[in-house]
Amino acid sequence: MTHLSVNINKVATLRNARGENIPDVVRFAVDCERFGAQGITVHPRPDERHITRRDVYDLRKVVTTEFNIEGYPTDDFMRMVIEVAPEQVTLVPDAPGALTSSAGWDVIANSEFLSGIVTRLRQAGIRSSIFVDADSAQVKEAARIGADRVELYTKPYADNYTQNPDEAIGKFIEASSEALKRGIGLNAGHDLNLQNLSFFHKRLPLLDEVSIGHAIISDALYLGIERTIHDYLDCLR
């Protein structure tokens, strides 16, 4: 079964708006696991506008499923993740001030840099995942430099799903096949939701993990987090 990792950045954004500890990010993560989520994802940015460095350390103490830390591999970021030792680090190419991820890595152009990062993570016993567009050449290069997984950037799929689902999924199927051929794992994330996730999963049944945040937190405002997680898990069965 494809695992569901809940990105809790938006919970931290809400908490930070008041400068207190409501909602409690750590408790929310524990509840997500209790309701069936198989992982917790965070993306601590340098400006700490949502997840903070302290959150990362506090969450490491309580997350019992899979802890996935996303981020651009600056020296500070790498020192933190090697000390915290999550199960997975997802490398994203975002500039420090980016609102959200808007593209995958050009792994071919950055192969030397990323190869060194992947090697450091492997030496620390941490699984590496490289955030890429649905491009078989990028998947192939990620495998060549030693990444354990790739995470497919799914916003283009989400944007085109309502117009033509089969066309929207095409490049993702090709990228999935390349990952399988190269023997690396496959994750996916960005703008996946209750409307488009089931179709995506049926066409890419060998997905290891989807990471979903904004849609889950938004749906939880109406449905509650327990039912929301169950509904997303149903899409992955």
Where is 130: in which H helix or E strand? Answer: strand 127-132
Q: Which one of the listed residues 151, 190, 201, 209 is annotated catalytic?
A: 190
Q: Quick one: tokens of 138?
A: 């990028």
| Angle subtended at Cα 84 by Cα 48 and Cα 133, rounded to the nearest 5 degrees | 65
Cβ-Cβ contacts under 8 Å for 136 (sequence gap 6 or more): 174, 175, 177, 178
CA distance 168 to 156: 7
Find where tokens 């350390």 sit.
57
Q: Does residue 157 contact residue 134 with C-beta atoms inside 8 Å? A: yes
Q: Is 201 a catalytic residue?
A: no
CA distances from 61 to 25, 32, 67, 228 (A): 13, 15, 10, 25
Catalytic residue among 70, 141, 151, 178: 70
Q: Report angle CA 52, 32, 22 to the nearest 5 degrees.
A: 50
Is residue 33 flagged as an active site residue? no
Give the bridge partners for 127, in sequence order. Answer: 88
Catalytic pick among 3, 43, 50, 201: 43
> What are residue 85's phi and psi, to 5 degrees?
55, 60
Which residues have a catalytic role annotated? Answer: 43, 70, 190
